[in-house]
Amino acid sequence: MVKKLAIDWDEHELRYVSAQCSGRSVKVIEAKIIEINGRSPQDVLITEFSSAGLSEAETLIAIGRGKAELRELQLPPVPQEELPDMVRFQSLRSFANIGDSSVVDYLITKQRDSGVEVIAAAVAPQNLDSIRQCVEKASLSLKRIALRPLAAAALYLSLQGESQSGEVALIDLLSDSAEIVIARDGKVVFVRTVRMPSSDNARGKALAGELKRSLIACGVINRLQSVVLWGTSQVHAVEIPMLEETSGCSVQIVNPFELVEVDRKTDLPEHVGRLAPLLGLLLADEVAPDRLIDFLNPRKPEIKTESPYKKIVIAGVPVAAGVLLALSIYGQIASLDKQIAELRDSNAAMQPDIKLADESLAKTETVDAFLDGDVNWLQEIRRMAVEMPPSDQMIIRGVSAGVNARTGGGVLKIEGGAVNPAIIDEFEKALRDENHQVNGTGASEQKTEDAYRWEFSESISVTGSSIRDSRYIGISQQMASEMTSETDVNNSVVETEGTTVENPQVPQQSEQEVQVNGEPSDAIATQSADSSPATADATDTSAEVVTGAQASVAEDRKPGETENTGASSGDNDKPSEGSEIPSDVKSNQEDSEEGSSNAPTQDSTMPVPQEGSIQTENSEANQGLEVAKAIDAEGQR
C-alpha cells in the first residue's frame, strides 16, 4: 500500500492525515490538528515533517474557498475534448481577478443536449508557487492541490455511489468558517464558504441562516432531503436543532473516520469533522479524481497518443498502395508497348500492299477524272425533250454541248423561242435539280410576227460528281445483276424426258465473228437488260440506221418483187426459190453453217441458241448483203 499525506491549513491551525491507500481501502495511521499560534504554515510544515522521513510519501494539499475564485458557468453544447478550452475562455471573461497565467479547473454539474453547466475555479499563479515552496522545504513530494469543499463532498458521494438521489446539504465546520456544499443526484451543484463567529451560540444561528440563504440561492428550499454535518453529536449539539429547524429535515451527524479504516494506535482529535476534506482527498485520489478540482493537474484537452504501430501502418499503407499502383501502371505500360510493337510489325507488313493500293487509287482517280467528262449527251437531250413544253408553246433552234476537262461534267447550251416568258421559267424549273444547274440569259421579245417571239438562251451544267455517281451506281447494279444471274443458273433445274438434270453455267462469249463477203465483221456483243442508257441509245440509233438502209433498198425494187431483209432469224435468211445466190455470199453462208455445226457441244444444262438468233451489229455488212441479193434476183429475171 502507498503511503500518502493529506494537508490543509488556515490562519489558526494546520491539519494533516497520514494513511496507507490502495483502491477504495484507506487506512489512517496518523491524524492531527496543530495550532499555529502566530507561526507561518511553512514553519509548521518544516517542524513537523522535515525529520519525519516522509519524503517518499505522496503529498495532497487542500486549499480553502478563500484562496480560489469560483463561478458557475453555462456553456453551449461542445465536444468533451473541447470543453477545457471553452471553460478557460469563458472564465477569463467572467472572473474578475485572474489573468492569462492563472490556473483554471472545473467540475461538471449538469450536462444536457441544450448545454453544459460547470463550477469553474481559478487560482493565481503566486498562490500555487507559495504552496510548492512550503512543500519542497518540508522535503515532501507534491501530487495534488485540490479545492477543500469538494474533497469533503467526494468522501460522502463516493461512498454513497449511484444510489444517492435528491438534494443533500454537506456542512463542514472549521475553526472560523463553514463550508456548505449542495449535491443533487450524486453531483455537486453548489459550493459556498462563509465566515463564522467565535461564540458557540452565535455560531449556531449564523450557520442556520447561511444554510437557508444557500438553499434559496440553489433553488432547493423545501425540497432538501437531508443535512449532513461532519463531526460528532457532542461537538455539534448546539448546531443540530437550529439546522433542523431551518432546513425542515433531519440532520445527520457523520464521523468521517467511521467511513475509513483507522489504525488502533491512532489517536483522533476532538474535532474530527475538520479532517473530513483530508480523508475525502485521500479516497478520491485513488478512486474518483474526477470529483476534485485539482489546480496542480487541471483538466486539459485530450491529447491522443497514437501507437507507433499505427503510425507505421499509416505510413506503410500509402507506400504499399503506391508500389501496387506503380506495378499496375508498369504492367499496363508493358502491355501497351507489346501492342504497339505488334501494330508496328503489322503496319510494316502492310506497307507494300498499301503502296500498291495507293498506286491503284491514283490510277483509278486518273481514270475517273477522265471519265467524269464522258457526258451522255443523248440522254441529256432526251431529258430536255421530256421536260420541254409542247411544241405549240416552245421550240428549240440550236443545241451545243461542251465538256469541262478540268472538273468533269459539261454544259449543254440551248437556244430557242417561246410564246411567253412564263413558259421559259417553268422550263428552267423543270430542268433544274441537284445534279443540273440551269442558268439563263432571260427572255427577250423580238419584233416579229412569229408566234415564238420570246427568245431565250439556257446553259444546263452537268456536274462531274453526278457523272461519277451514276457510273458507279451502274457498275454496282451490273455486278449485282451478274451475281443474281449466277445464283439463279446454279439453282435452276431442267427436266428432260422425265429426268431432272442440273443446268451448269455456260461461259459468256464476249465476241463472235461473222463472215461477210469473206471478211470478219466487228464483234457481236449480246446486250444485257442492265446496259446503261448511253448503250441503249446507241443501239436504238443503229437500229434506225439499219431500217433506213432496208427502206432504200425496198424503194429500188420493182413492184411484185419478193422482199428480202437482213434479218437473221428463221427462213428469212435464205433467198426465195428460183433466185441464185452469189457464190461468195453462198460460200460465206456455207462456212457459217459449217462453223455452227462444227462448234463445240454446249453443256446440256445451258439453253442452246436457236438458228438465226445471232444478230450482227455491222450495218454496212447487212446493206451489202441486201444489195447482193437484189442484184442476183434481177439477173435471174
Task: Give the residue, 630 or 292, on which the prediction is more confident.
Answer: 292
Residue 31 · residue 17 · CB < 8 Å: yes
Nearest CA to 60 out of 275, 301, 299 is that of 275
State in Å, rounded, how far the first CA of the chain is from the last one.
Answer: 168
Tell me the C-alpha distance between 583 and 637, whole Å: 18
Q: What is the pLDDT of residue 337?
A: 94
Q: What is the pTM of this model?
A: 0.50
Distances (CA, A) of 212 to 184, 204, 233, 557: 16, 13, 21, 164
Task: Give the residue, 230 or 561, on which the prediction is more confident.
Answer: 230
Q: For every residue of 602-621, which 3-state class applies, written as one string?
A: CCCCCCCCCCCCCCCCCHHH
- Chain centroid to Cα 497, Å, comes to 77
Predicted confidence band of residue 6 (pLDDT cuts 50, 70, 90)? very high
- Chain centroid to Cα 343, Å, comes to 32
Tell me the pLDDT of the chain averaged across its residues.
77
Task: Please identify which residue in the block is written with the cell numbers 467511521.
Answer: 258
Nearest CA to 183 out of 220, 232, 145 is that of 220
Q: How many CA atoms lie within 13 A of 421 on its CB side?
A: 7
Which range, of 51-65, 410-424, 441-455, 605-619, averages the lowest pLDDT? 605-619
Task: Please identify which residue in the block is written with the cell numbers 441503249.
Answer: 536
Q: Which 3 state secondary structure label does DSSP give 525?
A: coil
pLDDT tens digits, residue range 338-378?
Answer: 999 999 999 999 999 999 999 999 998 888 888 888 888 99
Nearest CA to 169 out of 270, 261, 239 is that of 239
Q: What is the pLDDT of residue 620?
A: 46
Nearest CA to 290 out of 301, 277, 299 is that of 299
Residue 281 · residue 292 · CB < 8 Å: yes
Residue 277 · residue 172 · CB < 8 Å: yes
> Under 8 Å CB-to-CB from 223, ≥6 apart: which residues?
166, 167
Q: What is the pLDDT of residue 614?
A: 32
Distances (CA, A) of 246 to 209, 212, 226, 503: 8, 6, 12, 136
High-pLDDT (> 90) share of the chain, %: 28
Phi/psi-derived region of residue 538, left when phi > 0, alpha when psi is between -120 and 50, beta in every other case: alpha
Residue 137 · residue 275 · CB < 8 Å: no
- Specify the CATH class of 2-291 in words: alpha beta
Tell me the C-alpha distance between 577 and 585, whole Å: 16
pLDDT tens digits, residue range 445-480?
Answer: 888 888 898 999 999 999 888 888 888 998 999 999
Q: What is the pLDDT of residue 520?
A: 38
Q: What is the pLDDT of residue 278?
A: 93
Residue 183 · residue 192 · CB < 8 Å: no
Predicted confidence band of residue 335 (pLDDT cuts 50, 70, 90)? very high
Tell me the C-alpha distance between 49 and 16, whole Å: 11
For the domain bounded by 377-469, which CATH number is listed? Answer: 3.30.1360.100
